[in-house]
Amino acid sequence: MGSPDQFCQGNELVSSVLLRCDAAGIIVDSMSTLSEIQAAADALSPEQKQELLLFLAARLRAEGATIPEPRTFAREEIAEWIAQDESDLERFKAGA
């Protein structure tokens, strides 16, 4: 068996277990609640979070989950957002 450094490259979510690394090596944390899984996901690198997101999306598709309907916005609402954004940009440029 190799040293912990060979296996320990940050945190990794495997099934419902988080492999967490510290100076002493690998620590296995079991998770059973959504809040524990969310906390573990927070500890992942951006690349691992993307991998987790793709994994969950594939699982949802396989289970027949439906995609939410696209949201629709009135032209006036979008124009208002754009005007507010432009106003905010001008204030930012002016140093406000």
Calculate what percentage of the chain has a pLDDT beyond 70: 68
For residues 50 and 34, give the distance between their C-alpha atoms in angstroms, rounded to a whole number: 18
Q: Could you read off the pLDDT of 18-54 as tens digits, one per residue?
A: 555 555 555 555 677 888 888 888 988 999 999 999 9
Q: Residue 14 — φ and ψ, nearest 5°? A: -125, 115
Q: At 88, phi and psi to the nearest 5?
A: -60, -40
CA dist 16 and 18 (Å) reads: 7
Please give the model's pTM, rounded to 2 decimal places. Answer: 0.44
- Report d(CA 74, CA 37) in Å as an integer: 38
59-93 residue pLDDT tens: 998 999 888 889 999 999 999 999 999 999 999 99
